[in-house]
Amino acid sequence: MQRILICCLVVLAFASVLAQGSGTAVYSEPFGPDAHPLYAFGGVIRFGPQQGDPWTALLREGQLEIGNTSDPSVLRYYFLDPDRVPGWEGEPLAARVLVGGTYTEAPSAGLIYGVDLTTHAFVALVRTGGAGYGIYVLDGDGYRAIATGESPALADGAMVELAIVPESGGLGFYVAGERVFEGPPAQGVGVGVVAAGTGRFRYDDFVLERR
């Protein structure tokens, strides 16, 4: 397993189906044409080329694009916490985002959940290229997959919804509305997006909601 270096500013299958948009939105980021780089996604993203960093974040065509074409060993993530989201008291929220783009070497792009605000440990639901998806964790042993699978809903270039939902004392992981994995409850509170490997990954319609 390739060890991923961190660059930061962090099995069970089911046929259950998630009712999309069935909660009350606490926060939404559409990355629309009026989005301002200083304020989009709570202002935590540094847009444009950064010296010594292979990642570049852009607002392009009403979406967030995070790209890296040179170094497949690096990881980039951005997350929100209750201090940046008015009305969020720190309780577990459902999170969803559309994810697409192009995937090349050792790629993964998607949603991170339960970010520990001190260690930045988290669990993630990511696309890995083609029809592939994975459940990844970042902890003291690095960034790695703990489960992988394929979904017919995933195709290169298509924007597909990924969601992580608190339910039944744990977490449900959903790809295009279908539950693909169940995990234990989150240990942290932060929620955001992640990109690893090389590619140009796209994100749209990020939502946190109460269900």
HEC sequence for the chain: CCCCEECCCCCCCCCCECCCCCCEEEEEECCCCCCCCCCHHHHCCCCEECCCCCCEEEEECCEEEEEECCCCCEEEEEEECHHHCCCCCCCCCEEEEEEEEEECCCCEEEEEEEECCCCCCEEEEEEEECCEEEEEEEECCEEEEEEEEECCCCCCCCCEEEEEEEECCEEEEEECCEEEEEECCCCCCEEEEEEECCEEEEEEEEEEEEC
Q: Which residue range is the domain that position 96 belongs to?
A: 5-193
Query: Residue 18: pLDDT band by 50, 70, 90 thresholds?
Result: low
Asked if residue 9 belongs to a domain, the reply is: yes
> What are the pLDDT digits (tens) for 36-76?
999 999 999 999 999 999 999 999 999 999 999 999 999 99
Q: What local confidence, expressed as pLDDT, does residue 21 receive?
A: 54
Residue 3 has pLDDT above 50, yes or no: no
The residues near 208 (Cβ < 8 Å, ≥ 6 apart) are: 25, 26, 27, 28, 80, 85, 88, 93, 94, 95, 191
The answer to whether residue 164 is domain-embedded is: yes
Domain count for the chain, please give it. Answer: 1
- Tell me which of 175 and 14 has the higher pLDDT: 175
The reply to whether 36 falls in a domain is: yes
User: 209 in a domain, yes or no?
Assistant: no
pLDDT at 16 over 60: no
Residue 14 has pLDDT above 70, yes or no: no
72 belongs to a structural domain? yes
Task: Evaluate whether residue 96 is within a structural domain.
Answer: yes
Q: Confirm if 77 and 112 have CB atoms less than 8 A apart.
A: yes
Which CATH number covers residue 144?
2.60.120
Assigned domain for 207 exists:
no
pLDDT at 17: 53
* Per-residue pLDDT tens digits for 80-136: 999 999 999 999 999 999 999 999 999 999 999 999 999 999 999 999 999 999 999
pLDDT of residue 7: 45
Domain assignment present for residue 185? The answer is yes
What is the percent of the chain with per-residue pLDDT over 90, rounded to a whole number?
85
